[in-house]
């Protein structure tokens, strides 16, 4: 969903930019700048770190023991192309976006705070679903003791923050903003 919303905003930004080109309306220019800021924030805080996290975690666990993250039973309901759409294509598309469009990252402290807020919110959401249904969203969590779950959630939060920093460094490298 994050990727779909993000790339929808990218398309909207590109279309708005094309449609307002040559137009001297300050209001349209102001609205376009807001849209570009939203696009850049979403790339920095959500699309890149969450996308890279999903691809790396999913396929790492899948290779180790697919039943922990994507039980074989799901193959009967979710076609392989949709699985790859959710867990594979995210990475090349987000890298292509980073290479083709310069994104202005927020200050590091604001960016990391936003990434942490998202990670903690997602973890709380997973715990709430488990509390209500008695089933963990990801089968892997059924195999972890409560203490190990806390360590796993903390490690996941740290990893997603590292991916935020990697995205910032990669964006600066690609667009040579340090020179």
d(CA 86, CA 35): 25
Residues of the chain with pLDDT under 50: none
pLDDT of residue 24: 75
Mean pLDDT of the chain: 93
Predicted TM-score of the model (pTM): 0.89
DSSP state, residue 103: -
pLDDT of residue 85: 87
pLDDT of residue 177: 65
- Using CA atoms, how far residue 52 sits from 66, 154, 178, in Å, is 19, 17, 24
């Amino acid at each position: 969903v994050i990727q779909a919303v993000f790339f929808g905003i990218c398309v909207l930004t590109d279309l708005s930019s094309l449609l307002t080109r040559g137009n001297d309306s300050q209001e349209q220019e102001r609205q376009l700048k807001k849209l570009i800021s939203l696009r850049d924030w979403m790339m920095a805080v959500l699309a890149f770190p969450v996308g890279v996290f999903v691809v790396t975690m999913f396929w790492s666990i899948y290779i180790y023991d697919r039943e922990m993250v994507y039980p074989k039973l799901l193959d009967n309901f979710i076609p392989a192309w949709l699985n790859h759409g959710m867990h594979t294509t995210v990475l090349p598309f987000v890298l292509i976006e980073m290479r083709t469009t310069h994104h202005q990252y927020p200050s590091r402290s604001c960016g990391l705070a936003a990434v942490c807020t998202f990670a903690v919110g997602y973890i709380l959401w997973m715990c709430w679903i488990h509390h209500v249904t008695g089933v963990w969203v990801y089968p892997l969590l059924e195999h972890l003791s409560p203490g190990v779950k806390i360590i796993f959630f903390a490690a996941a939060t740290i990893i997603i923050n590292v991916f935020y920093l990697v995205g910032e460094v990669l964006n600066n490298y690609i667009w040579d903003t340090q020179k």
